Amino acid sequence: MSKELFRVSFYDQISSNKIKSVLLMAVVLIVLIGLGAVIGLALGPDYFFFILIISIIISILYIWISYYYSADLALASVKAVQADPREYRQYHNTVEGLTIASGMPKPRLYVMHDSNINAFASGRDPKHAVICVTTGALEKLDKQELEGVLAHELSHIANYDIRFMTLVAIMVGMIAIISEIFLRSLWFRGSDDRDNKANLIFIIIGVVLAILAPIVVQLVQLGISRKREYVADASAVKFIRSPTGLIDALKKIKSETSKPPEKVSKAVAPLFIGDPFKRNLDNWFSTHPPLEKRIDLLERM
Is 166 part of any domain?
Answer: yes
Residue 105 within any structural domain of the chain: no
What pLDDT is recorded for position 278?
Answer: 76
Domain count, the chain: 1
**Residue 83: its pLDDT value, please?**
95
* Residue 115 domain-assigned (yes or no): no
Q: Which candidate, 34, 54, 90, 301, places its Cα nearest to that of 181?
A: 54
pLDDT, residue 112, reads 94
pLDDT confidence of residue 261: 64
pLDDT of residue 51: 61
Write out the residue range of the structural domain in which residue 255 sits: 3-69+156-299
Q: What is the pTM of this model?
A: 0.75
Q: Which amino acid is at 47?
A: Y
Active site residue 4: no
What's the pLDDT at 188? 58
> Do the domain assignments include residue 125?
no
Helix axes 10-43, 197-240, angle to 10 degrees: 160
Torsion of CA 94, 96, 100, 104, to 10 degrees: 110
Q: Determine, yes or no, domain membership for 103.
A: no
* pLDDT attached to residue 107: 95
Residue 82, SS3 per DSSP? strand
In the set 145, 147, 153, 229, the catalytic residue is 153
Q: Give 3-state DSSP helix, strand, coil % of the chain, rounded to 5.
A: 70, 5, 25
CA distance 274 to 291: 8
Ranges of the chain with pLDDT below 50: 1-6, 191, 194
